[in-house]
Amino acid sequence: MLKKTAAERFGFVPFRENVLYRRVPETPWYQGDGATLTTLLMIQVITGITMTLYYTNAADHAYDSVRHITHQLTLGWLIRGIHYWSAGIMVVMLVLHVFRHLVLGGYKAPREGTWIVGVFQFFLVLTMSFTGYVLRWDERAVYAVGVVLNMFHNVPFIGDELVLLVQGGPQIGSLTLTRFFSVHIWIVPLFLIGLVGFHLYLVVIHGVTSRAEQKHPVRTAKEQKKVYKEAAHSEERGEWFHPRTVLKTGTMAFAVFSIAFLVALAVGPREMFPEGNLIQQSMPREEWWFWWYSALIAQLPPAIAPIFYVAFPSTLFIGMMLLPFVDRGVNRGLRKRPFWTGFVVLCVVVIIYLTYLRTKSPWTGWPDSTPPPTPIGVVISEEAESGRRLFARYGCNSCHAIASHGRRVGPDLARIEHRMSQTELRNFILNPTEDVPMPSYQGRISAEDLDRIADFVLVAQTFPREITVTGKVTER
């Protein structure tokens, strides 16, 4: 009796009747991806809040505080590890969730609202997955900030203001970190958690795309309701949300979280790069869930890349928002939507391929292990010849062409405008000028290899403007 009153007093009764003990059409286990995302989000909140107890968001202490969490605190490494791995898995699951609903047509009437709220969640989670690793304030973080600033800089009209807004001042510094902290810890989670609540509320109200809806074309929202209700209340095609659905989707959520947990246990948290250095350029590297994107950018001609930076996410956002209004077809489900099934398969293949390309190359998506050619008839010294090979080994040719051969991220090195001496060249490679998007090779190259590469670049100054393909020196 008391129990029942308590349930009433705390408003649990309508929840129990309308949410827990409601009939839903039979739910296959893989529809647990939503429950999985919700679970992972909760894990992120718990581990994240735990870390804020020790994290310091001042640029001169942030890095040390992360190291402290990792190396000194009891189980700190595990908390950081879980936070990191479940973040990565969350991004993957989220993309799969979106793909699944593209194939199903999960955004169709009456679920347009569920989808639109979901689109915002999608971009908020990506923002979280990006701002999170900036907080480590290591080299990777500083580089990542550079990339996002570059992106904002290319936004038409308001680019410079956006950069100021993100940076918090004229340069990347302590204020920048404070802003990323605030965005990662307060602003985005607040919206995200609110929207997740809204999304789930809509899921309860409209349900999720059922098998019955996939069997026959459903023309209107009204018809959908009828089909859905029939299946939910049928003896064999329906089930009780609690405990049947909860059990199935909960099992999936638990299994996926267990993966994140076990990987964290086995591998530990993400390695830290050397502390972020605001004076020198650092090695461009991003977290693995952005590899494909970085490789994609690297494939584009330099003239298009800066536009693409901005255009791609904006187009994606607008496209996703408009989708329910553009695709008004009546069919739902894998079999009835061959176009979308093909599209999703294509996306998955492209993403995996781009990711693979990125793993093959230190900086760009287009690894090129062939050294640049020397002109026919030109004999270069032994030193310069070994420099030519090292030029490819150290990835110089993933950015620099020699006499019009190779990629054009940086200038063609057979024509350096301001002639450089051997020493100047060496110093430049070790510490490129601050505003040049070239990685510093300090500590990454032996003095001897550096000499050889400089020898080769100097010899290349005597090369003709263009080497014909026939002049290509064959390898080995």
Binding site for ligand HEC (CB under 6 A): 363, 394-396, 398-400, 409-411, 413, 416-417, 425, 428-429, 436-439, 441, 453, 457
Residue 461 beta carbon to ligand HEC: minimum distance, rounded to whole angstroms = 10
Rg (the chain; Cα; Å)? 27
**Comparison of 320 and 457: residue with beta carbon closer to ligand HEC:** 457
Residue 26 beta carbon to ligand HEC: minimum distance, rounded to whole angstroms = 53
Residue 185 beta carbon to ligand HEC: minimum distance, rounded to whole angstroms = 32
**Comparison of 380 and 413: residue with beta carbon closer to ligand HEC:** 413
Residue 467 beta carbon to ligand HEC: minimum distance, rounded to whole angstroms = 18
Residue 360 beta carbon to ligand HEC: minimum distance, rounded to whole angstroms = 14
Maximum alpha-carbon separation in the chain: 99
**Comparison of 146 and 333: residue with beta carbon closer to ligand HEC:** 146
**Contact call for residues 333 and 139 (beta carbons, < 8 A):** no
**Comparison of 273 and 428: residue with beta carbon closer to ligand HEC:** 428
**Comparison of 58 and 436: residue with beta carbon closer to ligand HEC:** 436
Residue 274 beta carbon to ligand HEC: minimum distance, rounded to whole angstroms = 18
Residue 382 beta carbon to ligand HEC: minimum distance, rounded to whole angstroms = 18
451-471 CB burial, b ≥16 within 10 A, e <16: bbbbbbbbbbeebeeebeeeb
Q: Hey, how many other C-beta atoms are within 10 angstroms of the C-beta on 149?
A: 18
**Comparison of 246 and 305: residue with beta carbon closer to ligand HEC:** 305
The residues, any chain, with a CB within 8 Å of residue 302's CB and separated by 6 or more, are 408, 409
For residues 438 and 281, what is the distance between their CA atoms, to the nearest angstrom?
Answer: 7
Structure tokens belonging to residue 13? 């009764």
**Comparison of 3 and 418: residue with beta carbon closer to ligand HEC:** 418
Residue 432 beta carbon to ligand HEC: minimum distance, rounded to whole angstroms = 6
**Contact call for residues 213 and 224 (beta carbons, < 8 A):** yes
Nearest to 339 by CA among 170, 103, 47: 103
For residues 145 and 133, what is the distance between their CA atoms, to the nearest angstrom?
Answer: 10
Residue 142 beta carbon to ligand HEC: minimum distance, rounded to whole angstroms = 15
For residues 159 and 357, what is the distance between their CA atoms, to the nearest angstrom?
Answer: 31
**Comparison of 273 and 340: residue with beta carbon closer to ligand HEC:** 273
**Contact call for residues 280 and 173 (beta carbons, < 8 A):** no
CA dihedral defined by 80, 81, 84, 90, rounded to 10 degrees? -130
Cα separation values, 463 from 399, 410, 466, Å: 19, 18, 8
**Comparison of 78 and 416: residue with beta carbon closer to ligand HEC:** 416
Nearest to 407 by CA among 470, 361, 453: 361
The residues, any chain, with a CB within 8 Å of residue 93's CB and separated by 6 or more, are 33, 36, 37, 40, 256
Residue 438 beta carbon to ligand HEC: minimum distance, rounded to whole angstroms = 3
Residue 377 beta carbon to ligand HEC: minimum distance, rounded to whole angstroms = 25
**Comparison of 24 and 413: residue with beta carbon closer to ligand HEC:** 413
The residues, any chain, with a CB within 8 Å of residue 33's CB and separated by 6 or more, are 93, 96, 97, 100, 252
31-67 CB burial, b ≥16 within 10 A, e <16: bbbbbbbbbbbebbeebbebbeeebbbebeebbebbe
For residues 291 and 285, what is the distance between their CA atoms, to the nearest angstrom?
Answer: 9
**Comparison of 252 and 458: residue with beta carbon closer to ligand HEC:** 458
Structure tokens belonging to residue 231? 């299946």
